């Protein structure tokens, strides 16, 4: 009997492989995507802090 991989693990490994491929083939675009995601996360955190401060 051939062992079948767990779907969640397979998807995680597939996404990691695609990310590694993207980083190797297009490093400038990958860096821009990470920078953009980081800026977005900072904006969300800032908005949450503003909301929390407005509560009192």
> pLDDT confidence of 19, banded at 50, 70, 90?
very high
**For range 22-42, the mean pLDDT:** 96
Whole-number Cα distances in Å, 43 to 18, 29, 35, 48: 27, 21, 12, 9
Question: What mean pLDDT comes out for the span 9-24?
Answer: 93
pLDDT at 1: 67
What does the pLDDT average to over 2-20?
Answer: 85
Interval 21-36 mean pLDDT: 96
Q: What is the pTM of this model?
A: 0.66
Cα–Cα distance, 15 to 19 (Å, whole number): 6
Q: What is the mean pLDDT of residues 13-39?
A: 95
């Amino acid at each position: 009997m051939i062992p079948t991989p767990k779907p969640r693990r397979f998807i995680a490994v597939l996404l990691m492989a695609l990310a590694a491929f993207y980083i190797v083939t297009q490093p400038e675009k990958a860096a821009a995507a990470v920078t953009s995601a980081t800026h977005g996360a900072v904006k969300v955190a800032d908005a949450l802090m503003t909301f929390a401060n407005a509560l009192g």
